[in-house]
Structure 1
């Protein structure tokens, strides 16, 4: 079973990497970009066979390691 985790900064948290990408896009002539938020995608290969149990386990992984829940939010998708 596979899981995909999307981690993004929470709304209101400054995103300097996103601002750098926005600036670079403007420099390359892409003037229609009003904002950029950068995040990360983590794909996991799991040995679990029960989707609900796998999702619960991945959520615990996110809370303990994969996401900084003070400033980041995450979503879990079982594939």
Structure 2
């Protein structure tokens, strides 16, 4: 039995499930209704789960970037003290 494919009419990428195509189609629209709620962050997204995943960069300490900028309006993190100092 051949696998059913659901091709994207915009870019041609194919999906095994219609649900995944529907979610993917949102990546082609210009409307971005999901906005990051972190202060001073201007990122917005077409899909809610992308916004949630992005928000974690503000709230999760990465073992690769443990050094945070002390400025309240800045969410940048660094792996080396010298990079933080330059910032």
Give the alignment's TM-score, normalised by structure 1.
0.27
Higher relative contact order (CA 8 A, sep 6+): 1
Q: Which has the larger radius of gyration?
A: 2
Give the alignment's TM-score, normalised by structure 2.
0.25
| Greater strand proportion | 1
